[in-house]
Amino acid sequence: MIKTKELPKEVTVNSCNLCSPLGASIAFKGIKNCMAILHGSQGCATYIRRYMIAHFREPVDIASSSFTEDTAVFGGGEKLKNGIDNIISQYNPEVIGIATSCLSETIGDDVSRYIQEYQKERTAMNLPEIILTSTPSYNGNHETGFFKTQRALVEHLCSQQEKTEQFTAFINIISPEDIRQLKEIFQSFNYSYILMPDFSDTLDGGSWKEFNKIPPGGTSVDEISRVSSSKTNIEFSICINSKISPGDYLFERFNIPNIQLPIPIGIKATDQLMTALEEITNTTIPINLENQRRRLIDAYSDAHKYIFGKKVAIIGHGDLVYSLASFISEVGMIPLICSTGGTHEKLIPLLTQIAEEYHYPVPQICLDYDHDDIESELEGNDIDLIIGSSKAYKMAKKLKKPLIRIGFPIHDRFGAAAKLTIGYQGTRSLLNEIVNLFIQIQQDENPVGYTYQ
């Protein structure tokens, strides 16, 4: 059953969406020596910083052009230029990422022109690269901002080049630990790659010996400029709109094939990645990954009885919902409700296909839903588990259902940045978490209190 938000509820109650500049901010955090500035009111930058800090537990410096009433009337050019000057003098970055806001977009600020003027006015200075991404929060959500920013980066930095034996991977909003896992997989294939935006160190760094104005790590400008020399691109999104897809842009401009893959959670989605990598690198899957795959299948077998037939509600951004639905179907669980704040109609055939493959009824696919709508949906259904962000906790508590936290934000648990869910290894760790949850429920409810399973 396919559901879209039912009118007449015009108001949004406990949204599933965050705004587009937040996605842009995460993406810019994955660029080496980059400072982001949000062109709007001071609050946009501060709220987004606070939200990211609470999730990643890392310093997140994001500047603001700090609009005032005058700025809103006369335009934000001077504020933006002054802001860039101050960022350069304080942080000396190689890249400045500018993301617009609903305010600057609504007053019609011509930010491209401001940047051109700025570059002309400061010719004597050795200026950083300045990348602009248009992210009004009335358009799309954090996923939109995340991909738009990746696209803006390659649009700005890439030019026609000779192709080399190398591929580029455009990631989705996954955890820093997931990024590290992805890099390990790529390294196992022993083939040259560029992963962007790599926020595995910048948003999950170690202790510091010296003070770092900008946390170390990230994809460098040089790497991004070499993206157009890649033979192939992998884009970890199957819900993405072509207009904001960096891979589709590179295909149109440089004729680089773009392989769109699901976030690799579960055997099938990870297999798809392996097949793609085998084709790109013209090798077969390395032994370590094959062993991981076998161990995962073995874990599936060991786990099957604990979780068969468990009914699950999944809440997340479109790509995450698809991959989680695919994974839990593989282990015999049933995604009863698949819900997202986005409007990805592509999810409908994809989730229908999974249901057909595993012989269960097509889930309720809830698009453009808020947490309040989802809660109403759940009230009428007998589910065993909710998978969602921290923001699903309130309904989980009310409905007395267990919650596995994946996605963004995870504000009520420790270790969000270290959460591993992708690849064969990540899937296994997620499987362990789910199985142990059900074992614990069983154990707690059982008066015998078995000390074995």
Report 109-148 residues binding another protein (CB under 8 A). Answer: 136-139, 141
Tokens of 443: 């154990």
Binding mask 76-115 for another protein (x = CB under 8 A): ---xx-xxxxxx-xxx---------xxx--xx--------
Report CA-CA distances (Å) from 189 to 182, 278, 446.
11, 8, 47
For another protein, give the closer residue by CB, 122 or 268: 122
Q: How far is the CB of 114 from another protein (least distance, A)?
A: 12
Least distance in angstroms from the C-beta of 159 to another protein: 29
Three-state SS string across 293-327, please?
HHHHHHHHHHHHHHHCCCEEEEECCHHHHHHHHHH
Which of 2, 3, 57, 290 is in the footprint of another protein by CB under 8 A?
Answer: 57
The reply on whether position 211 binds another protein by CB under 8 A is yes
Q: Give 55 or 293: the residue with its C-beta nearer to another protein.
A: 55
Interface with another protein includes 13 (CB under 8 A)? yes
Q: How far is CA 43 from the centre of its chain?
A: 23
User: Residue 174 half-sphere exposure, CB side, CA atoms within 13 Å?
Assistant: 32
Q: 2 or 54, CB closer to another protein?
A: 54
User: How far, in Å, CA of 34 to CA of 25, rounded?
Assistant: 10
Q: Which of 2, 3, 14, 251 binds another protein (CB under 8 A)?
A: 14
Which residues have a Cβ under 8 Å from the Cβ of 381 and sit 6 or more positions away? 311, 313, 336, 337, 364
The reply to whether 242 sits near another protein by the rule CB under 8 A is no
Residue pair 322/238 in contact by the 8 Å Cβ criterion:
yes
- Geometric angle at alpha carbon 344, from 339 and 348, rounded to 5°: 70
Which are the contacts of 287, defined by CB distance < 8 A and separation ≥ 6?
none
Q: Does the protein bind another protein through residue 392 (CB under 8 A)? A: no
Q: How many residues bind another protein (CB under 8 A)?
A: 73
Using CB under 8 A, pick the residue from 213, 243, 295, 305 that binds another protein.
213
Least separation in angstroms between residue 267's CB and another protein is 34
Residue given tokens 């691109």 in the structure block: 233
Q: Which residues 17-56 are close enough to bind another protein by CB under 8 A?
A: 17-19, 21-22, 37, 40-51, 53-54
Residue 389 makes contact with another protein by CB under 8 A: no
Smaller CB distance to another protein: residue 58 or 433?
A: 58
